[in-house]
Amino acid sequence: MFGRPFAASIAAAELARASGCAILPACIVRAAGGYEGEIRPEIACDRALIGNREARIQLTQKIMRVFKPSIQQHIAQWYHFVPIWPPAPSRKKFGLTRTV
């Protein structure tokens, strides 16, 4: 995601494998006067083809690519709920104490 490795939950792919449910990427964003919903086209998957973990990881990558334009357009509203990238190195570690 955005040129860096990204740890995402494979729960949607797991649910699709277990139940055969459709994957409909959707998000809600704040807009002038309220909220707007965005629903992207269904992400097709074949339960028989996502039986192993690696296939579910690949499906999750496909799902995240579908969300990327919405995230880029509304970056200030995106929140993943868990850290996805390691924190930046401490400035003190490099002898830097002044903020820029």
Work out the pLDDT band at 6, boundaries 50, 70, 90: confident
- Nearest partner of 21 among 51, 47, 57, 3, judged by Cα: 47
Across the strands, what pairs with 68?
none
**pLDDT tens per residue across span 72-98:** 888 888 776 666 666 666 655 555 554
Domain boundaries, the chain: 11-94
Rounded Cα distance between 86 and 45, Å, is 31
Residue 83 has a pLDDT of 63
Helices (H), the chain: 11-19, 53-73
Residue 100 has a pLDDT of 43
**pLDDT tens per residue across span 12-60:** 999 999 998 999 999 999 999 999 998 999 999 888 889 899 999 999 9
Residue 74 has a pLDDT of 87
CB contact set of 74 (below 8 Å; sequence gap of 6+): 27, 29
Residue 99 has a pLDDT of 47
